Structures are given as structure tokens and as C-alpha cells.
Amino acid sequence: MNAIELENIRHVFRVTTGTIRRRSKEIVAVDGVSLQIEEGELFGLLGPNGAGKTTIVKILTTLLIPTAGRVTVLGFDAVKDAAALRFQVGFVLGGDRGLYYRLSGRDNLRYFAELYGIDTKKVRSRIEEMLELVGLRDRADERVAGYSRGMKQRLHIARTLLHDPKVLFLDEPTMGLDPVGARDLREIIKRLQSEQKTILLTTHYMFEADALCQRIAILNEGRIVAQGTPEELKELVSDQSVVELEVFGAETEHLDRLRGLDYVDSVSIESHDLRQVLRVQTKLGERAVPGLLASLENLDVGKVSVREATLEDAYVHLVGESE
């Protein structure tokens, strides 16, 4: 059974600009997205900043009403049955808000348990269970003000699990965490999945989606540009190689010249001060190198290397993170 269904969802934000001559502008944040997520699935919604991930999560958690389309979660319509739906889901929407910094971690959970109306006989054990799950038991009596970013994020997860929701929405949960904090959080997400929760995770890291998710949808500019298991997405680049060329002073015309070659599938550029790295996807592998160099004739080229394409390259190719 599907736990989450999105049918042709569209969301338009209307914003006004200018102070004297006010003009109204429309921003299409979500542009016709359909998705089905099965019960118990850990599904990754992957996309760059501004792709529309948070907007979709807000629609699914009833915080925003979509401009058009139909959304159901566990059979509840996110618009018509919003009130009933809220009790069935949990969400962590990033950011530092929503916790009481002057209270301890445990007192924060007590407060939210009361707010959610959790059976008072069960509250104590439930709170201890959640503290254990997110690894905060030893620090539970300290004020949240002194918690690290990762600890706050874990407390947020404990908070949203108090009422034992079947479906969880985690919006970029590892954003802003140090590598160890991010790894700990990923372990917790894996544990939640083994408890049969349906989880929708958003991230802009391909490796994170690859490591955690059973299926991934790649979102770009409000549209899904690819969808499948990590293995299926890897297939998209299985016959591709990447030629990396270190260059100095590359301009748009150089990129365009490379893109014009019929054996080049995509080109992206990464700048490090004076040095730049051009990343060219091609099926030709090292046989492409002479032609690429010829197209860059008047440019200073340093190191050149050829490697197999990875899932990250597929992602870059799909969302076009090039200049």
C-alpha cells in the first residue's frame, strides 16, 4: 500500500516587489509533481537549493495548501483531512527553532508530550525510550542552550517521535552538522527505518540519498527529473566516463565549445581561485581527450584525468550544476 501519494502537485508563491510601484510576481516552486511512496519505505527527495523540496514537505505536513493537485498521506487528504492527518505524521523541518533552550532536553520532551496529549501513564517510559533512541540519555538533564547542533537535531527527532507517528518527514536533517554529527544522525534514520516507519528524507547530498534511501526522486526547478533505486540511477551513467581538466581562465565560450562536441554529454565547472576544473561527461573515455584539448586550444591546461562516472556525476548532469 502507498503511504504517501502526490498527484500532479503544483505550488505557486505570489510575492510583491518594489515599495512605491508594487508589482506582483509568481514563483512556481512545485510544477506538477507526482510521487508514490510505499509503506515502510525510506524515500529520498534529492535536489539543489530552491528545487522545491521544503515546499513539498510543507504540503505533505499540511503547513501549506497546494495551488493544485491532490495529496494523501495514509489515506488522509492533506487538505480536507488536515486535522486528522497531523496526528499521524511527524516532521523535522530543519532550522534551530521549536525547542526551549532554557529547559533541559528531557523537560522539552515532557512539554511536547503534554502538548500532544500523550497518555500520562506512558509518558515517562516513552520519553526515556526516545532519549535512548537518539543517544541523548546522558545529556538529557542539561539545558538545550548548551547542546551542539547535532544534539538539537536529535532532540527534534525525539520530539517528533513522541506520539509514535507512522510517517516521518525529515527536511535536510544533516544540514549544518559536522561530519560526525551527520553520521550519527544517519545511523538514527537507519534505525527508524528498521522500525517500519515510512520516511521521506530530503537532502542535497547524493551520497546521503545513496547511502540511506531505497528509492530516490531527483527534483530540479519544481519538477522530478529522474526517479528510481540508487542502482537504477547509477545505470544512467554506467557507460559514461568523466574527463577532468585543470584549466586557468576558462570562460563561457570555452564551455560552449566543449558542449558543442557531439560526443560530449555534459560539462560542468568548479572554480578554486585562479584554478578551475572542467568536468566533461562522455562515452568516449580517454579517446575524447585529444579532441577536448584541441577545442581548448588557447587555454592553459594543467592536469588531465579520466575516471568512471559516479552517481554524483549523474546528479550533476540532471540538475545541471554548471555555470
* Strands 23-38, 76-77: pairing kind: unpaired
**Dihedral of CA 287/288/289/291: which sign?**
positive
Which of 174, 177, 192, 209 lies closest to 45, judged by CA? 209
In the chain, helix, strand, coil percent, each to 5?
35, 35, 30
* CA gap 260, 294 in Å, rounded: 13
Q: Decide: is 224 part of the binding site for ligand ADP (CB under 6 A).
A: no
Q: Tell me if 206 sits within 8 A of 182, measured CB to CB.
A: no
Interface pick for ligand ADP out of 50, 146, 302, 320 (rule CB under 6 A): 50
Query: Which listed range, 17-25, 49-57, 67-75, 291-299, lies at the site for ligand ADP (CB under 6 A)?
Result: 49-57
Q: Is 221 left (phi over 0), alpha (psi -120 to 50) or beta?
A: left
* CA gap 303, 308 in Å, rounded: 17
Instruction: Report 95-134 residues binding Mg ion (CB under 5 A).
Output: none
- Binding pattern for the stretch 1-40 against Mg ion, x by CB under 5 A and - elsewhere: ----------------------------------------
Q: Decide: is 54 part of the binding site for Mg ion (CB under 5 A).
A: yes
* CA gap 319, 34 in Å, rounded: 18
Cβ of residue 64: shortest distance to Mg ion, in angstroms?
13
Interface pick for ligand ADP out of 9, 44, 55, 71 (rule CB under 6 A): 55
Could you say which DSSP state residue 143 is in? Answer: B
Cβ of residue 45: shortest distance to ligand ADP, in angstroms?
8
Q: Which three cell numbers stand for residue 261?
A: 562536441
Residue closer to Mg ion, measured from CB, 62 or 203? 203
Q: Decide: is 220 part of the binding site for Mg ion (CB under 5 A).
A: no
Query: Which listed range, 52-60, 175-183, 256-264, 297-305, lies at the site for ligand ADP (CB under 6 A)?
Result: 52-60
The set of residues, in sequence order, having a beta carbon less than 8 Å from that of 243 and lying 6+ positions away, is 279, 280, 282, 285, 286, 288, 289, 292, 304, 305, 306
Cβ of residue 226: shortest distance to ligand ADP, in angstroms?
16
Cβ of residue 172: shortest distance to Mg ion, in angstroms?
6
Which of 213, 214, 208, 314 lies closest to 266, judged by CA? 314
Residue 245, contacted partner among Mg ion, ligand ADP, none, CB below 5-8 A by kind = none
Neighbours of 22 (CB within 10 A): 8
Cβ of residue 112: shortest distance to ligand ADP, in angstroms?
25
Cβ of residue 47: shortest distance to ligand ADP, in angstroms?
5
Q: Which three cell numbers stand for residue 221?
A: 526547478
Instruction: Report 5-44 residues binding ligand ADP (CB under 6 A).
Output: 13, 15, 27, 29
Question: What is the amino acid identity at position 48?
Answer: P
Residue 29, contacted partner among Mg ion, ligand ADP, none, CB below 5-8 A by kind = ligand ADP
Residue closer to ligand ADP, measured from CB, 219 or 233? 219
Binding site for ligand ADP (CB under 6 A): 13, 15, 27, 29, 47, 49-55
Binding site for Mg ion (CB under 5 A): 53-54
